[in-house]
């Protein structure tokens, strides 16, 4: 009985009647709180086209840098179909105020580096000429000049590469990939090995060198195509491979030892001098043998031998288009008399 009275009381109320006649959802369901991470809004004028947002986006194809109609305007465009509304691009945006805005994520101050970098930029004290062009080129203020030294603050750097373009000296700012270090090592090793093999196959040509031109040089070419194919099996990123090869060829200096066995008299002066024991005396032939695998190419035997059995050449490399140019010339290290 009491429940029947309750029902009567409940249904006779004006509020209930109003609700019954106007049964629609509250409009508040479409309201979002202030922290709601919607699709990021872009303010084109503020963008410095550093690419931090594109690089940090976990969803591929959600954000793209697009060139505007006016000259020199590049800004990010968000594809709503791919965007996962994580707000990470907003957090890593280095401009002040932020180019991208979404909820309160834009208020997160970048006290600590949360941007994942693939590359690190380091200024070389030795090569730097202190022209300070990079200071103007850097749009996030990561480069500073103090005590006659240029230094790059890694926590502010967005790895855009503008400083390298502004730098007039090749190699004064070094760009290094810090991912896939083991794979990079593998590629470097295979490159050096195959370069050495090419030199070894041309050994006869080098041997003849002193005969016709004692001060001359030998020029060889090494096609890049094969080695790049090999490297692709280890790393997919082509730009990374080319940068790595360029760096290796720029820095590499290789000593080449040519062993003229017929000149050997069996005096065994060199055997004790060798620091790794790569040389051994063969009693049957009465000559000294060299083990190529353990040899360090340190040139001590070249300096010791009075008969000119080990000849030393220095090879240098240059990457040009799709070949590596190899230049060999006789070393100028003097022979101890």
Binder among 64, 85, 268, 329 for other proteins (CB under 8 A): 85
Q: Please state whether the peptide bond connecting residue 54 to the residue before it is cis, i.e. omega within 30 degrees of 0.
A: no
Closest CA to 110 of 154, 57, 49, 44: 154
Residue 6 touching other proteins (CB under 8 A): no
User: Cβ closer to other proteins: 55 or 222?
Assistant: 55
- Here's the x/- map for other proteins, 117-146, by CB under 8 A: it reads as x-----------------------------
DSSP state of 280: E
Q: How far apart are CA 245 and CA 225, in angstroms?
A: 12
User: Cβ closer to other proteins: 24 or 334?
Assistant: 24
Longest dimension (CA), the chain: 127
User: Cβ closer to other proteins: 116 or 216?
Assistant: 116
Nearest distance in Å: CB 59, other proteins:
5
Residue 147 touching other proteins (CB under 8 A): no
Residue 64 touching other proteins (CB under 8 A): no
Q: How far apart are CA 275 and CA 298, in angstroms?
A: 9
Residue 184 touching other proteins (CB under 8 A): no
Binder among 26, 71, 272, 283 for other proteins (CB under 8 A): 26
DSSP state of 328: E
Number of shown-chain residues binding other proteins (CB under 8 A): 43
Binder among 6, 11, 18, 59 for other proteins (CB under 8 A): 59
> 224 and 241 in contact (C-beta within 8 Å)?
no
Q: How far apart are CA 249 and CA 122, in angstroms?
A: 19
Residue 35 touching other proteins (CB under 8 A): yes
Footprint (CB under 8 A) of other proteins, residues 224-283:
236
Closest CA to 295 of 267, 268, 274: 274
Q: How far apart are CA 71 and CA 4, in angstroms?
A: 77
User: Cβ closer to other proteins: 111 or 322?
Assistant: 111
DSSP letter string, 255-276: EEEEE-GGG-----HHHHH-SS
Contacts with other proteins by CB under 8 A lie at: 23-26, 29-30, 32-33, 35-37, 39, 56, 58-62, 79-88, 103-105, 108, 111-112, 114-117, 178-181, 236
């Amino acid at each position: 009985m009491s429940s029947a009275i309750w029902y009567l009381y409940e249904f006779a109320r004006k509020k209930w009647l109003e609700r019954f006649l106007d049964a629609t959802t509250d409009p508040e369901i479409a309201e979002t709180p202030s922290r709601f991470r919607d699709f990021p809004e872009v303010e084109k004028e503020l963008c410095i086209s550093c690419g931090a947002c594109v690089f940090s986006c976990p969803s591929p194809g959600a954000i793209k840098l697009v060139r505007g109609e006016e000259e020199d305007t590049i800004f990010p465009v968000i594809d709503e179909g791919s965007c996962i509304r994580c707000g990470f691009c907003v957090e890593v945006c280095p401009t002040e105020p932020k180019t991208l805005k979404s909820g309160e994520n834009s208020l997160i101050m970048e006290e600590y580096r949360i941007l994942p970098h693939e590359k690190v930029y380091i200024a070389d004290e030795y090569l730097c000429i202190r022209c300070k062009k990079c200071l103007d080129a850097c749009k996030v203020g990561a480069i500073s000049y103090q005590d006659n030294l240029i230094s790059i603050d890694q926590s502010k750097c967005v790895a855009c590469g503008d400083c390298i373009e502004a730098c007039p000296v090749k190699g004064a700012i070094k760009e290094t990939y810090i991912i896939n270090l083991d794979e990079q090592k593998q590629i470097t090793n295979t490159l050096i090995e195959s370069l050495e093999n090419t030199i070894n196959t041309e050994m006869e040509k080098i041997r003849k060198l002193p005969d016709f031109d004692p001060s001359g040089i030998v020029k060889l070419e090494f096609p890049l195509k094969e080695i790049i194919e090999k490297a692709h099996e280890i790393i997919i990123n082509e730009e990374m491979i080319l940068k790595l090869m360029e760096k290796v060829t720029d820095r590499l200096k290789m000593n080449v030892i040519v062993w003229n066995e017929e000149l050997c008299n069996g005096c065994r002066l060199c055997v004790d001098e060798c620091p790794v024991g790569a040389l051994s005396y063969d009693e049957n032939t009465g000559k000294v043998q060299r083990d190529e695998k353990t040899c360090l190419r340190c040139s001590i035997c070249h300096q010791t031998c009075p008969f000119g059995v080990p000849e030393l050449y220095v090879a240098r490399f240059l990457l040009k288009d799709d070949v590596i140019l190899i230049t060999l010339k006789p070393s100028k290290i003097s022979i101890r008399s």
